[in-house]
């Protein structure tokens, strides 16, 4: 074989182009969160939910119960991940290809998937608790904190798939820290701008990554359909904004806000589908992280 035809790989410690882009985008979002003017957070009473019906003594019953899909898909995802790790630990994953390099293993993708599905379980509990009394700012903060956990998992999975495996888990940790800090700022000062930057700015990053080609090389064991996640998010926000209109259009059967919960939970389906690909590779959980330096 002609040596000149062999692919030349950059040293692993070098910062890749997409990783540099990601760091720059995160820095820009940080500047926006710090420099944009304060935006007073609106209390739940300022935007009353259309469906306030009480059923069997449960206030705002449909809005509360419509959080059950988050619980279902979250527990299903955790169950599948546990089964994958158990199978690998006991050598039952006969389809795993041998002689994979550590960098080719979907270590960070696995960790981010755990974070995402655990976040969905938290969202189910926190959102249901908030909708029992949606004019309580502290409950709203708890709801957003749970959302930050699930959202960080999505960011990490997207980075694993479209930037690099090694950058996925650090990106998830940064997104989680930023989300929780933004919630704390809202709770302490009433400024919702940092949360808006985290939520919408983070989703812009996901959209940008959805337009990228999957990362080259590696085992390609997990291919995430980011377009499906983005579509569910966009539809969920639209349903939220048309809460009352949908409630009237359905003859007060279901509100846009309740439908928002169901559609948002459907965003987990592409992740569940991607997890199936993990069966095709040997998995290693919490392996030592690779240092990233310029």
- Mean pLDDT (whole number) for 178-183: 97
Looking at residue 105, what is its pLDDT? Answer: 45
Residue 4: pLDDT above 50? Answer: no
Q: Is residue 45 part of a domain?
A: no
Q: Is residue 48 part of a domain?
A: no
Instruction: Report if residue 244 sits inside a domain.
Output: yes
Lowest-pLDDT range of 24-33, 78-87, 101-110:
101-110
Write down the pLDDT at residue 278.
Answer: 66
14-18, 182-186, 189-193 — which is least confidently predicted? 14-18
| pLDDT for 88 | 65
> Tens of pLDDT along 206-237?
999 999 988 764 445 567 889 999 999 999 99
For residue 196, the model assigns a pLDDT of 95
pLDDT at 282 over 60: no
Domain count, the chain: 1
Asked if the model's pLDDT at residue 198 lies above 60, the reply is yes
pLDDT of residue 107: 74
Residue among 237, 238, 140 nearest 192 (CA): 140
Give SS3 for 66: coil
Is residue 51 in a domain?
Answer: no
Comparing 78-87, 131-140, 248-257, 265-274, the range with the smallest average pLDDT is 78-87
> For residues 294 and 199, which has the higher predicted lDDT (pLDDT)?
199
User: What percent of the chain clears pLDDT 70, i.e. is strictly above it?
Assistant: 78
The answer to whether residue 141 is domain-embedded is yes
Q: In terms of Cα–Cα distance, which of 147, 113, 105, 150 is closest to 130?
A: 147
| Tokens standing for residue 162 | 């479209």
Containing structural domain, residue 143 = 16-27+59-93+101-213+220-280
Distance of alpha carbon 60 from alpha carbon 43, whole angstroms:
17
Is residue 272 one of the residues assigned to a domain? yes
**In the predicted model, what is the mean pLDDT of residues 190-195?**
94
Burial class (CB in 10 A: 0-12, 13-18, 19+), 95: exposed
Residue 14 has pLDDT above 50, yes or no: yes
pLDDT(30) > 80: yes
List the one residue out of 89, 149, 101 whose CA is nearest residue 290.
101
- Give Dmax over CA atoms of the chain in angstroms: 77
- Asked if the structure places residue 10 within a domain, the reply is no
> Which of 35-49, 120-134, 163-177 is predicted with the least confidence, judged by mean pLDDT?
35-49
Residue 231's pLDDT is what?
96
CB count in 10 Å sphere of residue 18: 16
Of 140-154, 179-193, 265-279, the poorest mean pLDDT is in 265-279
- Give CA–CA dist 180/284, Å, rounded: 28
274, with CB counted inside 10 A (0-12, 13-18, 19+), is buried
Which CATH number is 137's domain given?
A: 1.20.1070
Evaluate whether residue 11 is within a structural domain.
no
């Amino acid at each position: 074989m002609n040596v000149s035809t062999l692919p030349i790989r950059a040293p692993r410690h070098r910062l890749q182009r997409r990783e540099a882009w990601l760091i720059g985008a995160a820095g820009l979002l940080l500047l926006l969160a710090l420099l944009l003017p304060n935006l007073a957070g609106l209390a739940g009473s300022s935007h009353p939910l259309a469906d306030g019906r009480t059923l069997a003594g449960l206030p705002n019953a449909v809005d509360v119960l419509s959080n059950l899909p988050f619980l279902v898909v979250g527990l299903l995802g955790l169950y599948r991940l546990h089964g994958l790790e158990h199978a690998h630990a006991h050598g039952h994953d006969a389809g795993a290809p041998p002689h994979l390099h550590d960098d080719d293993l979907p270590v960070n993708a696995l960790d981010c998937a755990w974070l995402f599905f655990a976040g969905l379980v938290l969202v189910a509990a926190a959102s249901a608790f908030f909708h029992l009394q949606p004019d309580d700012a502290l409950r709203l903060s708890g709801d957003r904190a749970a959302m930050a956990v699930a959202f960080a998992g999505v960011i990490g999975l997207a980075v694993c798939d479209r930037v690099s495996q090694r950058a996925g888990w650090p990106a998830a940790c940064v997104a989680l820290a930023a989300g929780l800090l933004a919630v704390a700022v809202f709770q302490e000062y009433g400024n919702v701008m940092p949360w808006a930057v985290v939520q919408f700015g983070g989703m812009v990053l996901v959209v940008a990554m959805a337009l990228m080609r999957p990362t080259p090389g590696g085992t390609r064991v997990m291919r995430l359909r980011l377009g499906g996640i983005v579509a569910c998010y966009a539809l969920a926000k639209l349903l939220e904004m048309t809460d009352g209109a949908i409630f009237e259009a359905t003859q007060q059967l279901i509100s846009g806000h309740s439908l928002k919960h169901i559609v948002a939970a459907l965003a987990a389906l592409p992740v569940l589908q991607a997890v199936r690909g993990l069966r095709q590779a040997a998995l290693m959980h919490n392996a030592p992280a690779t240092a990233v330096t310029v």
